[in-house]
Structure 1
Amino acid sequence: MEKKKPVIGVLGSGSWATALIKILTSNDNKVNWWVRREDDVKHIISYKHNPAYLSAVEIHLNKVTPVSNIEEVIKNSDWLILVVPAAFVKDALKGVDPQLFKGKKVISAIKGMIPDENLLISDFMEEYYGTPSSDTAVIAGPCHAEEVAMEKQSYLTIASENIEFAENLCEVLDCHFIKVHAIKDLYGVEYSAVIKNIIAIACGIAHGLNYGDNFQAVLVSNALQEIEKFVEKINAMERQLSASAYLGDLLVTTYSQFSRNRTFGNMIGRGYSVKTAQLEMEMIAEGYYAVKCIYEINKKLELDLPIINSVYNVLYDKISPFLEFRILQNHLK
């Protein structure tokens, strides 16, 4: 007997959420899609496209039900994929009865942390909504939404302590342009995804300051060492950081033209203020919030993380990028 596919709820309507809608429907899944603005829901129903993000992607309404009521999506779905920026997760779920999440599988496709609380999305969902880690998974790259929209061959990693759940999610996401595999390292993958956005900002700043490819190569290789130090201290286990979920995701985020964190960092390196860069981008650079979270966590860990410290100093202490990166040069090998 053929296994019944779960109904998937996608919470969020940005570019990555839209890309996931494309992946899910390419594999014939039924999807409930929470889109915050009712006007956007009406547009999608009328024109079969997201008006704000990846508008070239056709939305197949025979498989997708877009609605503006988040509780309706949660109630009518078996598995829930969270795809709102980390800074807005609390607001998006405000007022939602935690009982609605009972028995649901929750998947984070968010590459950030809850600001001020310094919580990973998986920890936040367990603490506030009672979702155990055995019912939680993380979708990791390397995978940019823009390339998904063009059906360029891409790869995803699903991380969960419940490997059977992870493998089932792989089957749901696997399609002709997406290859997916499962691993058990939930926390390592989630923290790596958070930190790689910080490193992408650092690479962007370096580019804005006119540093070259030689410097960026050293910056990225040193960054991988910082990721290794941090995740081993937080959650020591056997993991291979050269795998695509770690190194691959780091590389695509630090080098790609589609990386919003690199773009944000580039603007800072060229002299934009944080506020001006954020306004001009009109998209969230998760690394901006993430660096404060990681910096504050590291106050207790006391690890030597010069790249993360430098990005924090530039963004939050308003140290000149030029001066800060002159200092950083002496910490890299």
Structure 2
Amino acid sequence: MEKITVYGAGSWGTALGYVLAQNGHDILLWSHRAEQAEEINRHSNERYLKGIKLPESLKATSSMEEAVRHADVHVLAVPTKAMRDVSAEIAALLDKPSLFVHVSKGIEPDSQKRVSELIREEIPEKWIKDLVVLSGPSHAEEVVLEHPTTVTAACENTHSAERVQDMFMNHYFRVYTNTDVIGVEIGGALKNIIALAVGITDGLGLGDNAKAAIMTRGLAEIARLGVKMGATPLTFSGLTGVGDLIVTCTSQHSRNWRAGNMLGKGKSLEEVLAEMGMVVEGIRTTKAAHQMAKRYEVPMPITEALYSVLFENVPTDEAAGHLMGRMKKNEMEDLIDLL
């Protein structure tokens, strides 16, 4: 049995707490809102997981001190934009080295840092036994219904990845291991950009052919950038590449697809965010990836088109037209570049 704190009581943090509690671990779920922690202690989290009865052994707190003191393993499930602040709060209270796991999928704009890099900048190395990334095609709404789900635990230290694998794995939640941290993080973050773009094409009514094209060419963009950053090409054929891309681009549960769909139907970005009421990671990640494409000199036309819609007020149909009107190209050039 592990003593684990999960930071972030949104849908994914709560779902992971559900899995860990069912696996017999001593779990504490941290929320920044006292009323939410109280609701979880009554075994529900209706805003994020409607109608789900949470395990009685899953406890919650809004006290950061209590959360930090409880754990030998810290699971960070807060949005990317909150990761620095929450990591710094944890660091100020640590008194022993611990294993850290992060499950957030994003890139910080301007700094262009991956989430694991943000955490290591805020938490001194003396407190980090190791840092593992848990990622893959996994909607919280299906996990708590105990539908079959497969994810990847990534760490350069295989022993630490296997510890996380053992911690989470059960009859409906299967965990693989991988040593390619860069590839796993880039795949998990950038698929949100492609899901936004697919949502826009669906909102415009452009059909399944367009959806398939955006997903396929989008995966090529993700892999091009990831490999340039040092990732292993095969990672993008796995769960955190094509697997996460499929589920995020095609599922009713995908926030990024839903946001893109509303944009395609003519709503403004401000209207979309107000209606969603939850974090849409792909928006911030689009800004970061736009910067990274220039930094690494990697062509990312879908990302550029989405950036123009989100931040330059280019109409969605006009951006789609620009994509279709690009110069002709040999498809195999991308595959050769990745080898």
Q: Same fold (TM over 0.5)?
A: yes
State yes or no: 1:291 paired with 2:278: no
The question of whether the paired residues in 2 share the 8 Å contact of 1:201 and 1:261 is answered with yes
RMSD: 1.8
Q: Distance in 2 between matches of 1:134 and 1:243?
A: 27
Q: State the Cα distance separating 1:310 from its structure 2 match.
A: 0.8
1:144 lines up with 2:100 in the alignment:
no
How far 1:98 sits from its partner (Å)? 4.2
Could you tell me how far apart the structure 2 residues matched to 1:35 and 1:310 are? 36
CA contact (8 A) 2:4 2:26 kept: yes
TM-score (normalizing by structure 2): 0.91
Structure 2: any 5+ residue segments left out of the alignment? 332-339
Counterpart of 1:32 in structure 2 is 28
Percent identity between the two aligned chains: 32
SS at structure 1 position matched to 2:237: coil
Aligned equivalent of 2:181, options 183, 186, 199:
186
Q: Using the alignment, how far apart are the partners of 1:135 and 1:299 within structure 2?
A: 32
8 Å contact from structure 2 (residues 153, 165) kept in 1: yes
Query: Which of 73, 84, 91 does residue 90 from structure 1 map onto?
Result: 84
Cross-structure match for 2:337: none
Amino acid in structure 2 at the alignment position of 1:120: R
- Contact 1:24–1:173 (8 Å) recurs in 2: yes
Superposed displacement of residue 227, structure 1 = 1.1
Which residue does the alignment assign to 2:99? 105
Counting only pairs closer than 5 Å after superposition, residues 60-209 of structure 1 correspond to structure 2 as 60-61=55-56, 63-93=57-87, 95-98=89-92, 100=94, 102-131=96-125, 135-209=130-204
CA shift, 1:64, in A, is: 2.4
**Runs of 4+ that moved beyond 4 A:** 93-96, 131-134
Whole-angstrom CA distance in 1 between matches of 2:231 and 2:302: 22
TM-score (norm 1): 0.93
Distance 1:290 1:236 in 2: 18
Change (3 A) 1:39 1:239: same
Look up the match of 2:37.
Answer: 41
> What SS class does the counterpart of residue 197 from structure 2 fall into?
helix
In the superposition, relative to structure 1, how do residues 99 and 73 fare at CA in structure 2: closer, same or farther (>3 Å)? closer
Counterpart residue type for residue 27 of structure 1: N
Report how far residue 96 of structure 1 moved.
Answer: 4.4
Residue ranges of structure 1 left out of the alignment (5+ in a row): none
Secondary structure in 1 aligned to 2:246? Answer: helix
- Could you tell me which residue of structure 2 aligns to residue 243 of structure 1? 238
Which residue is equivalent to 2:334?
none
In the alignment, which residue of structure 2 is the partner of 1:23? 19
1:13, distance to aligned residue in structure 2 (A): 0.6
Measured after TM superposition, the shift of residue 41 of structure 1 is 1.7
Counting matched residue pairs gives 327
Partner of 1:265: 260
Contact 1:101 1:131 in 2 (8 A): no
Structure 1 residue 219: Cα displacement: 1.2
- Whether the aligned pair in 2 keeps the contact of 1:185 and 1:239 (CA below 8 Å) is no
